[in-house]
């Protein structure tokens, strides 16, 4: 006999049972994290410093804080205003099918270097060097051998990778999931306790803030984070651009989602860690919306595209489009299984980071000041 607890217990009771079950595992995880950090702090595990300044962009939660658009914002700001920097970007290349050190080049695909590194590399093609490697130390050393002109490194998602000692640590926090309201894995989404961010972050950026965030909210966040006076605190938001065809030669135009009416239909397609802001964005328009969500960095299969095409065909609409994220677009563009007959109808929404005017400071000049200190 199988007991369906969902019919016996309410949501809060089920959550309490799950919390009780997961709490010992969270304690064990926290103990392991504490021991590892203590080993680094005591010098048992060694951090390596380099003559080239290194900026780490990371977080203390599992995914979804906006690391890639912030890395792109930093690259764009440095290229525009500080041309003396020859930037090297180093990432792990999550969910790539290769192993070890791989230097990005035009002939490689997202499967070779990962979707986010591929996106960054092609967005700044010819202006940066980029590589992927599980070992950040090996990655830095190999990149310097190949391109000795690199004089600034950006490490993507490297706050937990303590074998490299960065000159500047940037830690991102999601406004909708602040660390002081969270718990350690697997009870919550924290990779490590908030105190390490407080102790070792040079910059904390609260991401995905509402455009109309109140001064009192900023004050409360600042108080609850409890950062040192030397830590720079910034607030950023996400700005969505107009739709862009995934396949550049699309014959059916979709210039602006606001032009769609209630007679139109959007099939949202996401394979990202936190799809909620993107879905919320799609639902603000008049068109009917259905969303198909896959795991973060999902590698779409032939069967996935059959399901997507079936759902798309079932829905009626005067005009119908598939609208996806920029990260998903990278994987779809390079996927041979995507149906050719659907290429005219799939668009992605580009996103850009914007920094809120907080205490009349600008992020890029403050970052450069820390790099040069």
CA dihedral 273, 279, 281, 283 (to 10 degrees): 180
Q: What is the value of pTM for the model shown?
A: 0.93
User: According to the annotation, is 241 in a ligand binding site?
Assistant: no
Q: Is residue 49 part of a domain?
A: no
Instruction: Evaluate whether residue 317 is within a structural domain.
Output: yes
Q: Is 64 known as a binding-site position? A: yes
65 is in an annotated binding site: yes
67 labelled ligand-binding: yes
H/E element holding 234?
strand 232-240
The string of pLDDT tens digits covering residues 96-111 is 999 999 999 999 999 9
**pLDDT bucket at 6, cuts 50 / 70 / 90:** low
CB 139 within 8 A of CB 90: yes
- Residue 68 annotated as part of some ligand binding site: yes
Domain that holds residue 225: 54-240+354-372
- Tell me the C-alpha distance between 25 and 167, whole Å: 34
CATH of the domain at 363: 3.40.50.300
Q: Do 139 and 212 sit in the same domain of this protein?
A: yes
Residue 198 half-sphere exposure, CB side, CA atoms within 13 Å? Answer: 12
Q: Which helix (H) or strand (E) holds 269?
A: strand 265-270
Same domain, 342 and 359: no
Q: Was 325 annotated as part of a binding site?
A: no
Number of structural domains, the chain? 3
- The average confidence (pLDDT) of the chain is 94
CB 154, CB 57: distance < 8 Å: yes
Task: Answer yes or no: is 306 within a domain.
Answer: yes
Under 8 Å between Cβ of 214 and 244: no
Tell me the three state secondary structure of residue 185.
coil
**Percent of the chain's residues with pLDDT above 70:** 98
CA 328-334-335 angle, 5° bins = 85
pLDDT-derived band of residue 1, with 50, 70 and 90 as boundaries?
very low
Q: How far apart are the first and last CA of the chain?
A: 68
Cβ-proximal residues to 4 (8 Å cutoff; 6+ apart), any chain: none
């Amino acid at each position: 006999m199988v007991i369906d607890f969902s019919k016996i217990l309410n949501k809060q009771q089920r959550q309490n049972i799950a919390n009780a079950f997961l709490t010992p595992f969270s304690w064990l995880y926290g103990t392991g994290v504490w021991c590892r950090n203590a080993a680094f702090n005591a010098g048992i595990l060694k951090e390596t410093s380099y003559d080239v300044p290194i900026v780490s962009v990371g977080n203390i939660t599992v995914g979804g804080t906006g690391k890639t658009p912030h890395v792109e914002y930093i690259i764009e700001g440095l290229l525009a205003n500080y041309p003396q920097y020859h930037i090297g970007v180093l990432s792990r290349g999550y969910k790539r099918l290769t192993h070890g050190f791989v230097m990005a080049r035009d002939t490689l695909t997202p499967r070779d270097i990962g979707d986010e590194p591929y996106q960054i590399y092609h967005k700044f093609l010819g202006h940066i060097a980029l590589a992927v490697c599980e070992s950040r130390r090996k990655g830095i050393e190999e990149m310097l051998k190949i391109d000795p002109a690199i004089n600034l490194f950006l490490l993507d998602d490297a706050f937990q990778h303590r074998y490299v000692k960065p000159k500047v640590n940037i830690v991102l926090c999601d406004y909708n999931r602040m660390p002081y309201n969270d718990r350690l894995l697997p009870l919550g989404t924290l990779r490590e306790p908030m105190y390490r961010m407080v102790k070792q972050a040079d910059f904390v950026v609260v991401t995905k803030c509402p455009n109309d965030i109140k001064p009192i909210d900023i004050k409360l966040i600042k108080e609850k984070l409890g950062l040192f006076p030397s830590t720079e605190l910034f607030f950023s938001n996400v700005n969505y651009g107009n739709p862009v065809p995934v396949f550049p030669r699309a014959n059916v135009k979709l210039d602006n989602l606001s032009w769609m009416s209630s007679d139109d239909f959007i099939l949202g397609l996401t394979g990202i860690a936190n799809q909620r802001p993107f879905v919320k964005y799609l639902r603000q328009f008049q068109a009917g919306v259905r969303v198909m969500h896959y795991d973060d960095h999902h590698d779409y299969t032939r069967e996935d595209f059959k399901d997507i095409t079936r759902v798309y065909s079932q829905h009626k609409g005067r005009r119908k489009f598939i609208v996806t994220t920029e990260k998903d677009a990278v994987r779809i563009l390079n996927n041979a299984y995507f149906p050719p007959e659907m290429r005219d109808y799939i668009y992605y929404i580009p996103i850009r980071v914007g920094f809120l005017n907080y205490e009349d400071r600008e992020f890029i000049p403050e970052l450069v000041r820390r790099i040069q200190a």
